[in-house]
């Protein structure tokens, strides 16, 4: 298949491109590099030993984006391009609605105009909000989000759901990711945000390599076994393989499906700290702080639908996630 991958040089997109190319699909990447680096393209070529067509285009630029649709006949689109910082989305809601909603509408308009019938979209477990009991099941639908970023994911889900009602030949898979962590085994792809990370594992990683002195653990008074909040961490390679299965499913099945991609297992903040210590053999200092605003207590996936429709099961445990994160950080310390 020829697959358009928007945001393909980002964290999840780049790992997915490896899986697609290794399974004999061809990809065209569109990315404006707002949150990625061009070196990722070189690393993708080193890992896969394949040529990759890349265009530095903003999906908000309809005219430039349409040139790509005129040049190639795509079988499917995997749409990763978007901004993802929850805090920033609260400070700059218009930026998020414009980029993540208007940009997506451009892309969907072009898909319809150029007859591309298969779309896989990066949604998030954040759309469940705090409204439901764990494990989160796809049938629960959309909960209450506490931030504009989450709203942009809900709006995209609604747009694609409505669109799928207008064309019975359209096939859409909405993938609700839980918490992706880890890195490529090659140590050439991974996640190393600039500045102070917001997310747990990138923060622990910077403590491990002594770039930050200690971890702030946000809350130890939750109703969980050790008092810290629980999440469903999924290895980035497992997540990438889920995309391969989702896009192959989309081309064979019409209609719309919402599918969770998680492990179904919950891990607390302190369990993750211990796993990282074990994997890296480095002590991770931490200080207990008040709860972080907007955080929920426990979040993990019901994985039955991913297993049933995609035959998707995860392979890697949290220690391997920590080990791959740590190895990537060591290799990439500047």
As measured in angstroms, the least distance from the Cβ of 204 to ligand UD1 is: 8
Distance (Å) of CA 101 to CA 3, 5, 82, 164: 21, 17, 9, 17
Task: Show the site string, 29-48: x = touches ligand NAD by CB under 6 A, - = not.
Answer: --xxxxxx------------
Q: Which range touches ligand NAD (CB under 6 A), out of 10-18, 158-166, 182-190, 241-249?
A: 10-18
Q: Which is nearer to ligand UD1, 2 or 291 (CB)?
A: 291
Q: Which is nearer to ligand NAD, 95 or 304 (CB)?
A: 95
Q: Which residues bind ligand UD1 (CB under 6 A)?
A: 86, 124-126, 149-150, 179, 198-200, 203, 215-218, 229, 231, 269, 292, 294-295
User: Which residues, 6+ apart, have CB-to-CB distance to 281 below 8 Å?
Assistant: none
- Number of residues binding to ligand NAD, judged by CB under 6 A: 26
Taking CB under 6 A as the rule, does residue 69 contact ligand NAD? no
User: Which residues, 6+ apart, have CB-to-CB distance to 290 below 8 Å?
Assistant: 218, 219
Distance CA 251, CA 1 (A): 9
As measured in angstroms, the least distance from the Cβ of 146 to ligand UD1 is: 8
State the residue number with the nearest CB to ligand UD1: 229
Beta strands in the chain (DSSP E): 2-6, 26-30, 53-55, 76-79, 118-124, 171-177, 179-181, 215-218, 230-231, 233-235, 255-261, 267-268, 286-289
CA angle 281, 286, 288 (to 5 degrees): 150
Which residues are tagged catalytic?
Answer: 149
Task: Show the site string, 176-195: x = touches ligand NAD by CB under 6 A, - = not.
Answer: -x--x---------------
Q: Which two tokens stand for residue 311?
A: 């035959």
Taking CB under 6 A as the rule, does residue 64 contact ligand NAD? no
Q: Are strands 53-55 and 26-30 parallel, antiparallel or unpaired?
A: parallel
Distance CA 10, CA 32 (A): 10
- Residue 216 binds which one of ligand NAD, ligand UD1, none, with CB within 5 to 8 A depending on kind? ligand UD1
Nearest in space to 101 (alpha carbons), one of 112, 89, 91:
89
- Residue 103 binds which one of ligand UD1, ligand NAD, none, with CB within 5 to 8 A depending on kind? ligand NAD
As measured in angstroms, the least distance from the Cβ of 129 to ligand UD1 is: 10
Distance (Å) of CA 182 to CA 127, 173, 201, 233, 325: 23, 24, 8, 9, 4
Task: Show the site string, 118-137: x = touches ligand NAD by CB under 6 A, - = not.
Answer: ----x-x-------------
Taking CB under 6 A as the rule, does residue 60 contact ligand NAD? yes
As measured in angstroms, the least distance from the Cβ of 179 to ligand UD1 is: 4
Using CB atoms within 10 Å of the CB of residue 70, give its burial: 0 to 12 exposed, 13 to 18 middle, 19+ buried.
exposed
Taking CB under 6 A as the rule, does residue 148 contact ligand NAD? no
CB atoms within 10 A of CB 310: 21
Distance CA 112, CA 58 (A): 19
As measured in angstroms, the least distance from the Cβ of 119 to ligand NAD is: 13
- Residue 86 binds which one of ligand UD1, ligand NAD, none, with CB within 5 to 8 A depending on kind? ligand UD1
Taking CB under 6 A as the rule, does residue 78 contact ligand NAD? no
Residues of this chain that bind ligand NAD (CB under 6 A): 7, 9-13, 31-36, 58-60, 80-84, 99, 103, 122, 124, 177, 180
């Amino acid at each position: 298949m020829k697959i358009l991958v928007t945001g393909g040089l980002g964290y999840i997109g780049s790992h997915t491109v490896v899986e697609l190319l290794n399974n004999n699909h061809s990809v065209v990447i569109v990315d404006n590099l707002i949150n990625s680096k061009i070196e990722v393209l070189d690393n993708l070529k080193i890992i896969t030993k394949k040529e990759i067509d890349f265009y530095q285009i903003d999906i908000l630029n309809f005219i430039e984006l349409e040139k790509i649709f005129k040049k190639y006949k795509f079988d499917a689109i995997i749409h990763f391009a978007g901004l993802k910082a929850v805090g920033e989305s609260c400070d700059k809601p218009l930026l998020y609605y414009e980029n993540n909603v208007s940009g997506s509408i451009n892309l969907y308009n072009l898909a319809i105009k150029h007859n591309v019938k298969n779309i896989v979209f990066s949604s998030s477990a954040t759309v469940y909000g705090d409204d439901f009991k764990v494990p989160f099941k796809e049938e629960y639908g959309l909960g209450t989000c506490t931030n504009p970023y989450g709203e942009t994911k809900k709006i995209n889900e609604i747009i694609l759901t409505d669109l799928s009602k207008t064309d019975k030949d359209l096939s859409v898979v909405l993938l609700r990711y839980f918490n992706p962590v880890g890195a490529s085994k090659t140590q050439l792809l991974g996640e190393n945000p600039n500045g102070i990370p917001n997310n747990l594992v990138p923060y622990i990683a910077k403590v491990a390599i002594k770039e930050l002195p200690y971890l702030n653990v946000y809350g130890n008074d939750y109703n969980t076994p050790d008092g810290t909040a629980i999440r469903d961490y999924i290895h980035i390679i497992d997540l990438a393989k889920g995309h391969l299965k989702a896009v192959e499913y989309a081309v064979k099945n019409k209609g719309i499906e919402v599918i969770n991609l998680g492990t179904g297992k919950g891990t607390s903040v302190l369990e993750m700290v211990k796993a990282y210590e074990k994997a890296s053999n480095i002590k991770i200092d931490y200080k207990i702080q008040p709860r972080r605003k907007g955080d929920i207590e426990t979040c993990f996936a019901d994985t039955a639908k991913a297993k049933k429709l995609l035959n998707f099961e995860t392979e890697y445990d949290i220690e391997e996630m920590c080990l791959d994160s740590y190895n990537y950080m060591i290799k990439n310390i500047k």
